[in-house]
Amino acid sequence: MKSTSKAFVLSALLAGTVSVALPNSDAADKGALIASADGRQVVKSKLKGRIEREVMQAEELMAKRDYAGAAERFHDAMNKNTKNVTAIAGYGLALGKQFKLDAAEEQIDKALQLDPSNAMAHVGKAMVAMNRLQSSNVTILKQRDSMLKMAESECRTALQSDPYSPDGHYYLAQSLKEQGRLDEAAAEYKEAIKSDDKMSEAYAGLGLTKLAQNSLGEAGAAFKQAVEINSGNSTGHYGLGRVYLGQGQVDAALKELNTALYQNRNSAPVHLTLGECYNTQGNTVAAIKEFQESIRIKAENPDAYLHIADIREARGDLEFSLAELRSGLELMPGNPDLLTRIGDESLRLEKLDDAIKAYEQVLNNNPSHAAAAGKGLTRAYYLKSAKDAGGAFLSSNDYETAKRQIDKAIALNPNDMELRLAAAKLRLMSGETVDLKTIATPRTDGERIAYAEALLAQNDFKGANEQMGIVIGSATDMKQAFAVGDLALMIKDLDDAQAAYKKAQTFPGGEERAQRGMDLVAKARETARQDLTMADDLAKRKQINSAVDKYHAAVFDDPKNGDSRIGLARALEQMKPTKPTDLREAAVQIKAYIALTPTLPPKENEKLTKKITSLQEKAYKLEQKAKGK
């Protein structure tokens, strides 16, 4: 047995060229270190054992969510063996859990260099990517789709090496959920739970997925399991709050949400849901405060902007509502929910070109939102056509563009009756004959409203009133009644708007908002009356062109006013030079006048009917003459 110096043995040990065993304490007291074949094996075994114990201790701390303690243990193991891949990857994971993402990625990349197939390191890459996406950094957010795909790929690689990795299944589920692939995400959360039935965060993730699928019962069960395993799981408490809110249990929701907020003060979703609770209770000041706090924490959160817009709109502050939506769009350009709502608000403010631009952007870039955007676009074109004094819209490229856009929306949603009715309304605007009964019989409130709009486009006021009457009569709460009233006001159906607001007024808490709505109806009627008075005065003075413009404005403001219709028809007849388009429009306006005047004496009705025939014949002759026939 060869004796050697302590310095040599230690340096050799550090260099990895020799392993030594400390002999018994007596020999140690004498400062003797003996290197031998047996001694090398003993020291190597003891050193390996210490490293393995530290790794095991670190993994136990990870399971207890003590990520700082786990990082310390993994780091100790790394110091004893700089090539211990498990320790390096574990250290990276522990740092990533603490959102020390740059340092985490550095360690995970180091582990992958040593072992490209290491499952823990691939999971770590996915975790870092998912955690980075919680940032508000615009550069990162622009890479969202690619980062989610990368996280998915890393998890699938990890699961090839370790099919039972709970973290592998969990982060795969996270990436799938964020991609909207909810069924696949739910399956992966369940796989994570099979591998580790104490994985509280997997239950919480499953709950969020079921919540997104509107399965409140399954979501609630998953969230309860999450907090039973770990009462400190703030996501579990948040999820229960959302479930209770969805079930109408606002007080129970607030209790869970406040628990979640205590555990995580900077949770944007918790503040968002608190705002929804307060808004449900009618405390809009507290609601806006919570929505704004949610935006402060996570600015790229469309729901918060939409909720604030809801409150502004309910107060009648449409311009403020639109400004809120546009501020959200600055951070999330192209967001279909914000763009569709901007289109809706622009319509109500009669900013028709802005509405058309917003809807077209959704149709061109977000096929999954084509139905809502298509309906809004048709409504915008309908109002633009009604407002246009010279029929220029129907003869412009805009009209052909509109038809193509609606056809595209229908191709994506072939069974959507509302879209098909929207397309019919567009054809009716151009003077085509359309039998609405061949499309389908409306069965839902949305379909009845779309059907009523199409009936209005062909001046079937009685049929439109019947459909709207059914919708208003079926409104079971204040929110539904206001929605119908607001829509009717938007399309200038003032009678039905007033009826809907009166219905809303009967519900508790709806009095003030209903009165604002009825005031808007009265204002629209007064505007139409003033336009009609001025139009009549201009017609008497033989200022026909100006009179036609004012009659058009009066008809736009109140399409169901018969006096505006007949006045416009008479003025159009007097237009010089005589044009077929003016004569045909005059005939349409007389038809509308007859439909709006059910008490018209039979002789007058017959006289006007003959007038319609005469105008159409005259228009036809002028067209033939222009063609040289």
CA 53 vs. chain centroid, Å, equals: 49
DSSP class of 367: G
pTM: 0.73
Q: Is 248 left (phi over 0), alpha (psi -120 to 50) or beta?
A: left
pLDDT for the residue numbered 613 = 94
Between CA 439 and CA 492 the distance in angstroms is 25
**% of the chain surpassing 90 pLDDT:** 57
**Nearest of 392, 400, 390 to residue 427 by alpha carbon:** 400
- 255-265 tens-digit pLDDT: 999 999 999 99
Of residues 40 and 446, which shows the higher confidence score?
446
pLDDT for the residue numbered 371 = 85
DSSP element (H, E) containing 294: helix 284-297
* Long-range contact pairs involving 293-297 (C-beta distance under 8 Å, separation at least 24): 294/268, 294/269, 295/268, 297/266, 297/267, 297/268, 297/271
CA 590 vs. chain centroid, Å, equals: 45
- 353-412 tens-digit pLDDT: 999 999 999 988 888 888 888 888 888 888 887 776 555 555 556 677 777 878 888 888
pLDDT for the residue numbered 629 = 60
| 334-458 and 463-626, same CATH topology | yes
Name the pLDDT band for 39 (thresholds 50, 70, 90). very low
Mean pLDDT, rounded, for 614-621: 91
Give the E-state strand segments of 279-423 in sequence order.
Answer: none
Backbone φ, ψ for residue 486 (5° rounding): -65, -40
Tokens of 296: 């402060």
Helix axes 166-178, 182-195, angle to 10 degrees: 160
- 227-277 tens-digit pLDDT: 999 999 999 999 999 999 999 999 999 999 999 999 999 999 999 999 999
Between CA 479 and CA 485 the distance in angstroms is 10
pLDDT for the residue numbered 394 = 53
**% of the chain surpassing 70 pLDDT:** 90
pLDDT for the residue numbered 395 = 53
User: 334-458 falls under which CATH superfamily?
Assistant: Tetratricopeptide repeat domain (1.25.40.10)
Q: Which residue has the tokens 């369940």?
A: 190
Q: What is the mean pLDDT of the chain?
A: 86
pLDDT for the residue numbered 35 = 39
pLDDT for the residue numbered 378 = 86
pLDDT for the residue numbered 249 = 96
- Side chain identity at 25, as an amino acid letter? S
Q: Which residue has the tokens 């169901």?
A: 560
- 576-585 tens-digit pLDDT: 998 898 998 8
| Ranges 132-146, 382-396, 426-440, 586-600: which has the least confidence | 382-396
Q: What is the dihedral of CA 496, 502, 507, 509, to 10 degrees?
A: 110
pLDDT for the residue numbered 51 = 53
Say whether 3 sits in a helix, a strand or coil: strand
Of residues 36 and 479, which shows the higher confidence score?
479
pLDDT for the residue numbered 16 = 35
CB under 8 Å to 608, separation ≥6 — which residues? 590, 593, 594, 600
CB under 8 Å to 268, separation ≥6 — which residues? 294, 295, 297, 298, 301, 304
**Nearest of 296, 235, 242 to residue 260 by alpha carbon:** 235
- 76-86 tens-digit pLDDT: 888 888 888 88
Predicted confidence (pLDDT) at residue 160 exceeds the cutoff of 70: yes
Predicted confidence (pLDDT) at residue 23 exceeds the cutoff of 50: no
Where do the structural domains in the chain lie, given as residue ranges?
2-52, 334-458, 463-626
pLDDT for the residue numbered 474 = 92
Predicted confidence (pLDDT) at residue 459 exceeds the cutoff of 70: yes
Predicted confidence (pLDDT) at residue 9 exceeds the cutoff of 50: no
CATH of domain 463-626: 1.25.40.10
DSSP element (H, E) containing 34: strand 34-35
Q: What is the dihedral of CA 562, 568, 571, 577, to 10 degrees?
A: -150
Tokens of 267: 């949770």
Predicted confidence (pLDDT) at residue 589 exceeds the cutoff of 60: yes
